[in-house]
Amino acid sequence: MGASEASGSAPSKFSLFSFRKQRDNYREYSNQLIDAHTSEAAGSLRSEDERRLKEHTRYYYERIYERASAVSRDRNFWNFGYSGADVLEGIREHIPEFADRNETDGFSEQLYFYTVMQLPIKFEELPGMSLLDIGCGGGEGLNFLSRTLPDTHMIGLDLSHNAVDWANARFSRDSRLRYVYGDAENVPVGDSELDVVVNVESAHTYPDNRRFLEEVARILKPGGYFSQVDVYSHGGKWTRTLSTRSEVDQLEWICDKDISAEVRASIRSRCEPGSFFQRQFESLPRIYRAYIFRHFTFLYGRIFAGIPDDNYIKLLRRLRLFQAGKNETLPPGACYRYSLARKR
């Protein structure tokens, strides 16, 4: 997901009222999302519940994008990230100077590049092919892939108007790279048009995963590939995902990997004192930094990585500025997985 303000704009002025309102909005959204994924009816929500969850998702991310420059002016962090020497080496084969100029810590880019590295297609065969990123956010990931695959035709799709506007304003390049507004469960693409579909850290917000997979199967060419990474908040969610996949006959699942260790390594590196990630927040009020680190858990993954509260956040809890909620912990079965499917 992405943002809508220019990268050079000043962060929004912090206020305690705004802080509490955003905190409560986040908790409401997070609790609603977790309820949908943990209830016995998960995967078969009523249409009204689906509509409400989707609208809440849209509203929540639109608000995030409006304030994105206050979180990271240059939008250097757009997923949990991945830390792997082999992936970093693969990137540097295409961009030798990557991560050497103190412009990024490189972890978000590695996660995107990983989805392409796993394709059973040689890199020299990808030019001229078409690739769609569903849930592209502000477009940074797809823009990065376009630097490693400059002759591949790429489209990003997102539910947030703010994200799409941001992406087109900063990254679009004629037919080679463009961004469109759309719903993952109703993709505005014709049948059998695409060679590759990628989906990074997004599907856990979709009300109807089966409908999403049916759309992926519809828009892929026969023999095309679907490459996906996402977090699964508990074992039951992963079990239901496997069951849903078995119901979409047009997709043949050929690879599944648990990449939790590599993702957690990325998050822990970012949360080390003095890291590139930490330095991006030095100019913000300390209470705002605590808010970002604690209540944007889906964005930065501290809870998933098992990073405990520091003394300052513990103090804020005692002052009731932070309150326990369903989103405060992830069950023992939480995992981060990569999956690959081919259209039959």
* Residue 301 pLDDT > 90: no
pLDDT band at 9 (very low <50, low <70, confident <90, very high): very low
CA dist 278 and 300 (Å) reads: 12
The per-residue pLDDT for 2 is: 38
Average pLDDT, the chain: 79
**Conformational region of residue 105, where left means phi above 0, alpha means psi within -120 to 50, and beta covers everything else:** alpha
The per-residue pLDDT for 21 is: 56
CA dist 178 and 190 (Å) reads: 16
* Residue 255 pLDDT > 90: yes
CA dist 140 and 2 (Å) reads: 8
pTM for the complete prediction?
0.82
Q: Which residue has the tokens 């579909």?
A: 197
pLDDT per residue over 319-337, tens digit each? Answer: 766 554 444 445 555 889 9
Q: Checking DSSP bridges between strand 335-343 and strand 220-232, what pairing results, if any?
A: antiparallel
CB 121, CB 91: distance < 8 Å = no
The set of residues, in sequence order, having a beta carbon less than 8 Å from that of 133 and lying 6+ positions away, is 141, 142, 145, 154, 155, 156, 157, 197, 198, 199, 200
pLDDT per residue over 85-130, tens digit each? Answer: 999 999 999 999 897 766 789 999 999 999 999 999 998 899 999 9
281 or 300, which is more confident: 281
CA dist 141 and 79 (Å) reads: 9
pLDDT band at 43 (very low <50, low <70, confident <90, very high): very low
Q: Which tokens hold the place of 104?
A: 């990024």
pLDDT band at 174 (very low <50, low <70, confident <90, very high): confident
The per-residue pLDDT for 225 is: 98
Domain 1-308+323-344 belongs in CATH node 2.40.37.10: no
pLDDT band at 285 (very low <50, low <70, confident <90, very high): confident
